Amino acid sequence: RDVLTSPWCWQHAVLLNRFSQSPGLESSLAEQGYHPAFPAALPYLPAAFRCYTRTAPGRFPAQKHQPGRLKEYYLLNAASLLPVLALEVKDGEDVLDLCAAPGGKSVAILQCACPGHFHCNEYDDLRSRWLEQTIESFIPDPFINLMTVSKLDGRQIGDLQPEFYDKVLVDAPCSNDRSWLFSADPQQAVLRLLQRKELSSLQFQLLRSAVQALRPGGSLVYSTCTLSRAENSDVISLILSSCRNVMPVDISGMARGVSQEFTFLSGMQQHELLVLPEKGRAWGPMYVAKLKKVSSS
């Protein structure tokens, strides 16, 4: 709670944009005490994926959106890159980002690989515009032409495009602990607690849709930025018990590989992890779980 409610504890990671590199950026980051965030020991870490962090709090200057000009880097919570690294996207795969706004994870996926087809979906109208602006700010036209940006209800995509994708990311709407603790409005807090019950039902429906949209052999990653067990482990347990064609995937190797940078809740299953914010390592909260579809439904 102390870390989440204290902006002077907050840290930002700097994800470099491989489509728009400025020559002195990396040396400038190094001079300011930044170091590469992810070690080479990770099971999946593409060479083009470059991200920098430092232990001191503070924020690297943000870049303004300028039409027609690509930004050189994206500022984000380093823990939000773990779902992307867990997804392990390879060149040529068909990929769906089911709840894509504001677009940081979509941008990060494109730092890793060139999907054959990349579908970014965001149901909420306002957030969808934000997603489109993010894509315009970071992705060059030839790549944008390979992408589909839609405003579909994520719960229906499985029916609309059954067994179409190799990889699906479900970065689900959740009771975002960082923002609602920080706003500290008692009425808002009561509303959030009431919403929590509805959210887990929505999250389950989104996950079920994602499983339908996956090809057999394909994998999905589910993530939230809440500490709520009802929206994390419980949702994954429910999908594993109700979908016989889905198996958990071990991501403990990735967790071990980044344990210097992040603090994890102990006692989690091998297919899930939960990043806990701490002073000096203020990343998270971020829950990540990985599943694989073994056969047609």
- Of 92, 130, 174, the C-alpha closest to 107 is 130
Write down the pTM of the prediction. 0.94
The H or E element that residue 169 is part of is strand 165-171
Q: What is the pLDDT of residue 40?
A: 81
Confidence of residue 39 (pLDDT cuts 50, 70, 90): confident
- Of 13, 141, 16, the C-alpha closest to 67 is 141
Q: Which two tokens stand for residue 276?
A: 């806990």
Q: What is the pLDDT of residue 183?
A: 57
Mean of the per-residue pLDDT values of the chain:
92
Residues of the binding site for S-adenosyl-L-methionine? 99-105, 122, 153, 171
pLDDT tens across 284-297, in order? 999 999 999 998 86
Confidence of residue 5 (pLDDT cuts 50, 70, 90): confident
Where exactly are the structural domains of the chain? 2-11+77-293
Q: Which of 120, 174, 225, 243 is catalytic?
A: 225
CATH classification number, 2-11+77-293, choose in 3.40.50.150, 3.20.20.30, 3.30.70.100, 3.40.1410.10 = 3.40.50.150
Q: What is the pLDDT of residue 197?
A: 74
Active site (annotated) includes residue 225? yes
Give the whole-number percent of the chain exceeding pLDDT 70.
95
pLDDT tens across 212-268, in order? 999 999 999 999 999 999 999 999 999 999 999 999 999 999 999 999 999 999 999
Whether pLDDT at 67 is above 90? no
Q: Which two tokens stand for residue 81?
A: 């890159």
